[in-house]
Chain A
């Protein structure tokens, strides 16, 4: 039997037929430990290709060698759902001629599947694969758990290259992505650094302000009317969000509530909730820590889902559509409840929507948890620097100084007030914070677009300008 094994990444790039002006894609489950994107881009540059568009589900600080490829016009376009500060800052300073396109974890696979963002060659970092391309993230020295974001790339790219550092005999058992999508397989020494792939443990905050917010967040969920048998839940990996999950777990156990599913990027805390009987299953598009990786490998209740299944608005249905409560973060939120998670307070790109706007749109209760101010900067502003998630999808903001409910959600406000929770007006919360911090000067807006924020339905939501 002829296999798809080729000797090197360079050979795979050559065989794929990649040419100037084409699009390559990458997924980010190896996070800040990823070697694959840099190895592939180095070969693409060495082959003298130019004007390549990079469609990556996320870009991390480990990917800063891209700056060189941008400078040399090897890379002239980028789409990503999240870009950390290492690349975000130079992009904000204007290194790209064309604005970067930000999508969401649901919008990206949606746009790929609808043919809006065609991919010529997808490169899949696979912690385990067989010579025909069946692959999995659950096994191997570089195990990352779920490969959720890579499914759309595998299914829709014209050519698919699987890159692994753990080649096993055909057929791989318990594969995630199957051979029928794969053109070439390359085995390399290492696809990533395990230390950067998953955190050893994700930690609950010990900051007293964070714990106050987390306690309030759990009480808001309890009072919302949604916390009953069948309850479904997503939370981020931030310290305060995890603390909120931990308080929520106590409430669920005390009241004997069995939820249906925990969703999203999965941490050990959600695995603990599964084991404690808080949920019947976990739906996992990405593992954040070792405990989650171990769980998805060994527990059939912990299931891998694709990004389309997770959050795509053009799927027949997505898990976010069945979600009751999501806890999300914010760098800024304005008095209309619009949320910014793309830029920092000085306007530099340092993040992105990820699944923020997808889950906010799907969940019955979308909660933002944030302190009234970080260092001296108030969280509540008149207008966010960048709209990452529109205010119509946000129900409530929880801070240590009170809970602001979106006026459109009349019932929630009544329920929280009846439960004796400290409900405050958004404007009053803003003024309360500014009495402590002072009123910040507005930043001057740049004159050049450096990024477009594309909403999950493919429409332009906002534009990010350069920082002067």
Chain B
């Protein structure tokens, strides 16, 4: 499914993540900033890509500002942003 518009989900509160998604042609670009970059950076990026794949998003620019969110929170925020970007939510 295609990302047709800019959308966002989440907050900048501690233990949450703020996810922005926007249309991008032919590429999936994930940009991550995290307070736990050293400890969980790779794991967070893998989670983001997996959720996008589950949502059928093949091309988009995604920016994640992570404030130490648990994986379930990151999944929820990415999924919501993707749905909003597709105009479904």
* A residues apposed to B, CB below 8 Å: 345-346, 374-377, 436-438, 440-441, 443-444
Q: Cβ of A345: which chain B residues have Cβ within 8 Å of it?
A: 36, 39
Q: What is the chain A residue whose CB lies nearest that of B38?
A: A443
Partner of A377, one of B43, B68, B71: B68
Cα–Cα, bound, A277→B61 (Å): 63
Of A374, A376, A443, most buried by chain B (CB within 10 Å of CB) is: A376
Cα–Cα, bound, A134→B89 (Å): 71
Given contacts A374-B68, A376-B70, contact A441 B14 (CB under 8 A): no
Add 8 more A-B contacts to A375-B14, A441-B39 (CB < 8 A).
Answer: A375-B36, A376-B15, A376-B40, A438-B43, A440-B39, A441-B38, A443-B38, A444-B38
B38 touches A376 (CB 8 A): no
Number of interface residues of B (CB under 8 A): 14
Q: Restricting to B50-84, which residues have a CB under 8 Å from any CB of A?
A: 67-71
Given contacts A375-B14, A375-B35, A377-B36, contact A441 B67 (CB under 8 A): no
A441 touches B70 (CB 8 A): no
B42 touches A376 (CB 8 A): no
Q: Restricting to B1-25, which residues have a CB under 8 Å from any CB of A?
A: 14-15
Cα–Cα, bound, A375→B73 (Å): 11
Quote the shortest CB–CB distance from B81 to chain A (angstroms): 19
A440 touches B70 (CB 8 A): no
Q: Cβ of A346: which chain B residues have Cβ within 8 Å of it?
A: 38
Q: Cβ of B15: which chain A residues have Cβ within 8 Å of it?
A: 375-376
Q: What is the chain B residue whose CB lies nearest that of A374?
A: B68
A438 touches B38 (CB 8 A): no
Quote the shortest CB–CB distance from B9 to chain A (angstroms): 18
Quote the shortest CB–CB distance from A46 to chain B (angstroms): 40
A438 touches B71 (CB 8 A): yes
18 contacts across the A-B interface (CB closer than 8 A): A345-B36, A345-B39, A346-B38, A375-B14, A375-B15, A375-B69, A376-B40, A376-B70, A377-B36, A437-B70, A438-B71, A440-B36, A440-B39, A441-B38, A441-B40, A441-B42, A443-B38, A444-B38
Q: Cβ of A440: which chain B residues have Cβ within 8 Å of it?
A: 36, 39-40
Q: Cβ of B35: which chain A residues have Cβ within 8 Å of it?
A: 375
Partner of B70, one of A436, A443, A444: A436
Cα–Cα, bound, A377→B14 (Å): 12
Cα–Cα, bound, A440→B67 (Å): 15
Q: Across the A-B interface, give the 6 residue pairs with the lowest CB-CB distance, nearest first.
A: A375-B68, A440-B39, A376-B68, A375-B15, A376-B36, A441-B39
Of B14, B40, B71, most buried by chain A (CB within 10 Å of CB) is: B40
Cα–Cα, bound, A438→B43 (Å): 9
Q: Cβ of A377: which chain B residues have Cβ within 8 Å of it?
A: 36, 39, 68
| Main DSSP-derived SS at the A contact region | loop
Cα–Cα, bound, A440→B68 (Å): 12
Q: Cβ of A437: which chain B residues have Cβ within 8 Å of it?
A: 70
Cα–Cα, bound, A375→B69 (Å): 6
Q: Cβ of B40: which chain A residues have Cβ within 8 Å of it?
A: 376, 438, 440-441
Of B15, B38, B68, B69, most buried by chain A (CB within 10 Å of CB) is: B38
Quote the shortest CB–CB distance from A381 to chain B (angstroms): 11
Q: Cβ of B14: which chain A residues have Cβ within 8 Å of it?
A: 375
A443 touches B39 (CB 8 A): yes
Cα–Cα, bound, A441→B67 (Å): 17
Quote the shortest CB–CB distance from B76 to chain A (angstroms): 14
Cα–Cα, bound, A104→B67 (Å): 32
Q: What is the chain A residue whose CB lies nearest that of B72?
A: A436
Q: Cβ of B71: which chain A residues have Cβ within 8 Å of it?
A: 438
Quote the shortest CB–CB distance from B16 to chain A (angstroms): 9
Quote the shortest CB–CB distance from B37 to chain A (angstroms): 9
Partner of A375, one of B38, B42, B43, B67: B67
Cα–Cα, bound, A437→B67 (Å): 13
Q: Cβ of B36: which chain A residues have Cβ within 8 Å of it?
A: 345, 375-377, 440
Quote the shortest CB–CB distance from A233 to chain B (angstroms): 30
Quote the shortest CB–CB distance from A467 to chain B (angstroms): 10
Q: What is the chain B residue whose CB lies nearest that of A376?
A: B68
Cα–Cα, bound, A345→B39 (Å): 9
Cα–Cα, bound, A444→B67 (Å): 21
Q: Cβ of A444: which chain B residues have Cβ within 8 Å of it?
A: 38
Quote the shortest CB–CB distance from B56 to chain A (angstroms): 25
Cα–Cα, bound, A376→B67 (Å): 9
Q: Cβ of A376: which chain B residues have Cβ within 8 Å of it?
A: 15, 36, 39-40, 68-70
Cα–Cα, bound, A444→B38 (Å): 9
Cα–Cα, bound, A375→B42 (Å): 17
Quote the shortest CB–CB distance from B5 to chain A (angstroms): 30
Quote the shortest CB–CB distance from B49 to chain A (angstroms): 16
Q: What is the chain A residue whose CB lies nearest that of B36?
A: A376
Cα–Cα, bound, A441→B39 (Å): 4
Quote the shortest CB–CB distance from A332 to chain B (angstroms): 12
Cα–Cα, bound, A375→B71 (Å): 11
Cα–Cα, bound, A396→B39 (Å): 27
Quote the shortest CB–CB distance from A24 to chain B (angstroms): 37
Q: Cβ of B69: which chain A residues have Cβ within 8 Å of it?
A: 375-376
Of A375, A443, A444, most buried by chain B (CB within 10 Å of CB) is: A375
